[in-house]
């Protein structure tokens, strides 16, 4: 039997209290590589108590000293980058170029969080009223819960916990139960970097762990990334328990191509957006709308390109697209394709039934392209999260935007054009939080906030950037007036350190 992943509580690796496990498989071969425990509320409580106990001394650790732990972690992540990328390909399936990119994006968040002494600075105004000064101080709040999805199991936890601990909080992390192995290694590196016991705790599992985190009275806030339905449940439940909450949900991203676009560059951007990571990205392009004459040019290019994509094991450097995460997910993607056909869309390229020689038990879906689609078909209205594109035509950019606004999601969108004016208008009209101009994957880097709008995001402060610091701190405003009379030393408060 393969090994069972351990929780990390109070600085030690511990078995979960439950013996119930799920299988973790290499998606390219279908072979089991480990098992993950379905931890219970007892396990969550132990982790929360460890995090709670670690909070006072971690909060009292000077911010440059906290930052130095992250500097050391960054160096260790650089040193182990290739090993992490290979492990990630084995448990997630995406190709090595993509897992290297994911690890790099994760490192950039650690790098950004290293600037915490500056990022945490408050504001001051002298003489805001006669003889009165005012200052704001950003202070940590306690224990935060962080819940993450399967599609970026290295990067997404690093969107959150480095900022939470840099600002002086402590954390309980629940990674995705589908691919938690690579982040285990990162937790071990954080320990090696000198992160004190109890500052970061990890509890593996599913729904019971998440619900306990939402309800737990000693967790002050929750960061979540996953599908919109679960994001909404977590947002509602954790908010009702009085916590601050940010939940990032699913997506259906539109790529709008104008006739004046540089078509070769546009194809590269659209193709990697749609088929990269087998479409399992919240920023993946999913509906391509060619405006006027752009339609036939882009459809031909996408079809040509998609037909030539080589699928296979992500560790093989000749592979251009890996498998999807699981057999269940493959079946879900296939059933969306079935439904698209039943709804009357034209299936111009069919990825159902794809297979790879020697890896017949892998979870394969080939590149798939639909045309003649309508906004109310489920292939257009719902998130598929697989390598499936819908190509449509609009008479004008306004019509294309109107088509996009019929969708409930609002994570990202892109416009392809050589017109600065069209780009500026699009930014104004799009009404969506992450906008690409001649960029297929509109991913903000660590210095900017990451998160969508409409049903793709619940909350107000987003992940990373300045929002990440604001989410994990409270601004305490001190309004001071000092009299000229000398203070009585017997009335001075005791030091808190």
Which chain residues interact with ligand NAD by CB under 6 A?
147-152, 156, 174, 176-177, 206-207, 210, 225-227, 230, 233, 248-251, 282, 383, 385, 411, 452, 456
Which residue's CB is nearer to ligand NAD, number 26 or number 223? 223
Residue of closest CB approach to ligand NAD: 226
The C-alpha atoms of residue 322 and residue 39 are separated, in whole angstroms, by: 30
What is the DSSP code (8-state) at residue 497? -
The C-alpha atoms of residue 16 and residue 83 are separated, in whole angstroms, by: 27
Strand 409-410 with 244-248, pairing: unpaired
User: Least distance from C-beta 250 to ligand NAD, angstroms?
Assistant: 3
Which residue's CB is nearer to ligand NAD, number 227 or number 348? 227
Closest CA to 250 of 423, 144, 407, 15: 407
The C-alpha atoms of residue 156 and residue 175 are separated, in whole angstroms, by: 9
CB atoms within 10 A of CB 445: 12
The C-alpha atoms of residue 350 and residue 15 are separated, in whole angstroms, by: 44
User: Least distance from C-beta 145 to ligand NAD, angstroms?
Assistant: 11
The C-alpha atoms of residue 114 and residue 103 are separated, in whole angstroms, by: 17
User: Least distance from C-beta 282 to ligand NAD, angstroms?
Assistant: 3
Exactly one of 114, 214, 282, 413 is catalytic; which is it?
Answer: 282
Which residue's CB is nearer to ligand NAD, number 148 or number 167? 148
User: Least distance from C-beta 86 to ligand NAD, angstroms?
Assistant: 22
The C-alpha atoms of residue 6 and residue 35 are separated, in whole angstroms, by: 10
Long-range contacts of 149-152 (CB under 8 A, 24+ apart): 149/176, 149/225, 149/226, 149/227, 150/92, 150/176, 150/178, 150/179, 150/325, 151/92, 151/277, 151/280, 151/281, 151/282, 151/325, 151/385, 152/102, 152/105, 152/281
User: Least distance from C-beta 452 to ligand NAD, angstroms?
Assistant: 5
Residues facing residue 44 across a β-bridge: none
User: Least distance from C-beta 242 to ligand NAD, angstroms?
Assistant: 19
Task: Quote the longest CA-to-CA distance of the chain.
Answer: 86
User: Least distance from C-beta 491 to ligand NAD, angstroms?
Assistant: 51
| Residue 245: half-sphere exposure toward Cβ, Cα within 13 Å | 25
CB atoms within 10 A of CB 108: 17
Which residue's CB is nearer to ligand NAD, number 102 or number 371? 102
Which residue's CB is nearer to ligand NAD, number 266 or number 273? 273
Establish whether 114 is a catalytic residue: no
Alpha-carbon distances, residue 396 vs 118, 148, 195, 206, 404 (angstroms): 46, 38, 54, 45, 13
User: Least distance from C-beta 209 to ligand NAD, angstroms?
Assistant: 7
| Residue 186: half-sphere exposure toward Cβ, Cα within 13 Å | 31
Which residue's CB is nearer to ligand NAD, number 213 or number 469? 213
Alpha-carbon distances, residue 123 vs 66, 358, 478 (angstroms): 22, 62, 10
Which residue's CB is nearer to ligand NAD, number 197 or number 208? 208
User: Least distance from C-beta 149 to ligand NAD, angstroms?
Assistant: 3
Contact at 8 Å (CB) between 241 and 214? yes
What is the DSSP code (8-state) at residue 277? G
The C-alpha atoms of residue 398 and residue 426 are separated, in whole angstroms, by: 9
Which residue's CB is nearer to ligand NAD, number 150 or number 364? 150
Residues in contact with 405: Cβ distance below 8 Å, sequence separation at least 6, in sequence order: 431
Which residue's CB is nearer to ligand NAD, number 234 or number 349? 234
Active site residues: 282
């Amino acid at each position: 039997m393969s090994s069972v992943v351990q929780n990390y509580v109070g600085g030690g690796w511990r078995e979960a209290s439950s013996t119930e496990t799920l299988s973790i498989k290499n998606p390219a071969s279908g072979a089991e590589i480990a098992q993950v425990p379905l931890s219970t509320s007892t396990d969550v409580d132990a982790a929360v108590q460890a995090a709670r106990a670690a909070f006072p001394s971690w909060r009292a650790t000077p911010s440059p000293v906290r930052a130095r732990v992250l500097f050391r972690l960054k160096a260790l992540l650089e040193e182990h980058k290739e090993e992490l990328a290979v492990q990630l390909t084995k448990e997630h399936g995406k190709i090595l170029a993509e897992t290297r990119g994911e690890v790099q994006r994760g490192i950039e968040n650690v790098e950004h969080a290293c600037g915490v002494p500056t990022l945490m600075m408050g504001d001051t105004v002298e003489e805001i009223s006669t003889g009165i000064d005012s200052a704001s101080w950003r202070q940590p709040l306690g224990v935060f819960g962080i819940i993450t999805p399967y599609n970026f199991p290295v990067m997404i936890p690093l969107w959150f916990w480095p900022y939470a601990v840099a600002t002086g909080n402590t954390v309980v992390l629940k990674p995705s139960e589908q691919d938690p192995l690579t982040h285990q290694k990162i937790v071990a590196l954080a320990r090696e970097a000198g992160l004190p016991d109890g500052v970061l705790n990890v509890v593996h599992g599913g729904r019971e762990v998440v619900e306990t985190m939402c309800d737990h009275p000693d967790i002050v806030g929750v960061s979540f990334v996953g599908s919109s339905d679960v994001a909404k449940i977590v947002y509602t439940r954790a908010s009702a328990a009085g916590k601050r909450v940010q939940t990032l949900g699913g997506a259906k991203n539109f790529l709008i191509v104008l006739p004046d676009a540089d078509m070769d560059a546009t194809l590269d951007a659209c193709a990697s957006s749609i088929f990269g990571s087998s479409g399992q990205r919240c920023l993946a392009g999913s509906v391509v709308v060619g405006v006027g004459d752009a339609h036939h040019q882009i459809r031909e290019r996408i079809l040509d390109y998609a037909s030539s994509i080589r699928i296979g094991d992500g560790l093989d450097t000749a592979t251009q697209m890996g498998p999807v995460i699981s057999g269940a997910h493959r079946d879900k993607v296939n059933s969306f394709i079935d439904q698209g056909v039943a709804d009357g869309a034209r299936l111009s390229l069919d990825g159902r039934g794809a297979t790879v020689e020697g890896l017949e038990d892998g979870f394969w879906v080939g590149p798939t392209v639909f045309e003649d689609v309508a906004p109310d078909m489920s292939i257009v209205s719902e998130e598929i999260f697989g390598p499936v594109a819908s190509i449509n035509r609009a008479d004008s950019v306004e019509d294309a935007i109107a088509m996009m606004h019929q969708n409930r999601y609002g994570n990202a969108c892109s416009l392809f054009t050589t017109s600065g004016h069209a780009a500026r208008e699009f930014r104004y009209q799009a009404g969506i939080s992450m906008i690409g101009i001649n960029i297929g994957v509109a991913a903000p880097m660590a210095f900017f906030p990451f998160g969508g709008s409409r049903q793709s995001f619940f909350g107000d402060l987003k992940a990373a950037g300045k929002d990440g610091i604001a989410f994990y701190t409270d601004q305490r405003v001190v309004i001071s007036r000092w009299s000229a009379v000398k203070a009585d030393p017997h009335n001075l408060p005791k030091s808190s350190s």
